[in-house]
Amino acid sequence: MANLDVEILHPRHLAPEDVALWRVLAAAEPAFTNPLMGPDFAQAVGRVRDDARVAVIRRDGQTLGFLPHHRRPGGTARAIGSPLSDYHGLVSRRDADLTGGEVLRAADLVSYRYTGLIDPYGVFGQAELKTAHVIALGNTDAATYLEAVRAASPKKIKNWRRLDNKLEREVGAVELVGGDRSRQAFDQLIAWKREQLARTGVHDFLGPDWTRDLMTDLFENQDGSFQGLMICLYAGDQLVAGHFGVRLNGVYHPWIASTNPAFADYSPGQVFFLRAIAAMPELGLDRYDLGPGHDHYKGAYALSQVQIADGTATAASMAGRVANSLDNVLTLAGARGAGPVGKLTRRMDAIASVELTMGGRMRGLVHAVAGQAQRRAS
């Protein structure tokens, strides 16, 4: 088999024909239809990060696929836009006959760290799987879907509908605004999210300028099928909850889910979902992709699940074998487990993904260690 020819480009330098082919490949495979898997997201990240790259993979002059990533020290690649890229991977032809090891070697990479790998063609082999949650209407209407949700969790849904009525009765008319263009609401959702992250001890992925710049750019971008989308819930004239994320055609992937702390007794996040699902057809959405995580509301509303992979792929090279051995040692030491070592490792991994400066990484590490020590003492 002929060797691979891999060209490494910043997303802004992708040829129009490569962008078009990437879109075709993504549309051809249902697993690739999330907005984060296409060239538009890679180009959006490229507008705020100079280290964004795309490996364009060819063999015998034929373009086989695309691997968007950030190259970090030591030849390590991370998913482009991580940690905002809940889904990522190599988008390729079904018959490309690629292996992750040969792609990484040809791209002069040692390893590829992934936390939400979509790999329908088995390019990267087996890895640890975790569950992502999806609200998928499919061929059903919103009312039928909500009835299925109610049947699966009758007590929860009854209570949340009661709170919806209580919110309207005590505060004012409840209204869901899809495609909300209020910059004030956008800024408020970001502020509430950052307060929540600080309160819960999770690393603030909205701290670095690039993540906020990316979201602002997408909020302001209303051209084409790929754009930012904000959905907000109001009671009277007050903002009580909202989501912000990115959509591609009928698929929506929110990054920010925020609620007004002053209305916590009404469970506004739950009221939001009841109304948002009902509004999906009007908004042109058939898939509301909540991504991975164990948030209790996801299981109640998302009746579909997707299996994604978490792990590290290494190049078919000497450097790759060394990296694989090191990864195995870390796994044996508990880096992939549920204990303190695993939790701290995942926190450090998240910090390394989002923080681009040494100062930011050091501050994040200090907060992570201090927070873990405080939780052990409490």
Give the per-residue pLDDT at 333.
58
pLDDT for position 32: 97
pLDDT of residue 200: 86
Q: Is the pTM of this model over 0.85?
A: yes
3-state secondary structure the chain: CCCCEEEEECHHHCCHHHHHHHHHHHHHCHHHCCHHHCHHHHHHHHCCCCCEEEEEEEECCEEEEEEEEEEEHHHEEEECCCCCCCCECCEECCCCCCCHHHHHHHCCCCEEEEEEECCCCCCCCCCEEEEEEEEECCCCCHHHHHHHHHHHCHHHHHHHHHHHHHHHHHCCCEEEEECCCCHHHHHHHHHHHHHHHHHHCCCCCCCCHHHHHHHHHHHHCCCCCEEEEEEEEEECCEEEEEEEEEEECCEEEEEEEEECHHHHHHCHHHHHHHHHHHHHHHHCCCEEEEEECCCHHHHHHCCEEEEEEEEEEECCCHHHHHHHHHHHHHHHCCCCCCCHHHHHHHHHHHHHHHCCCHHHHHHHHHHHHHHHHHHHHC
Per-residue pLDDT of 39-49, as tens digits, reads 999 999 999 99
Residues of the chain with pLDDT below 50 are: 377-378
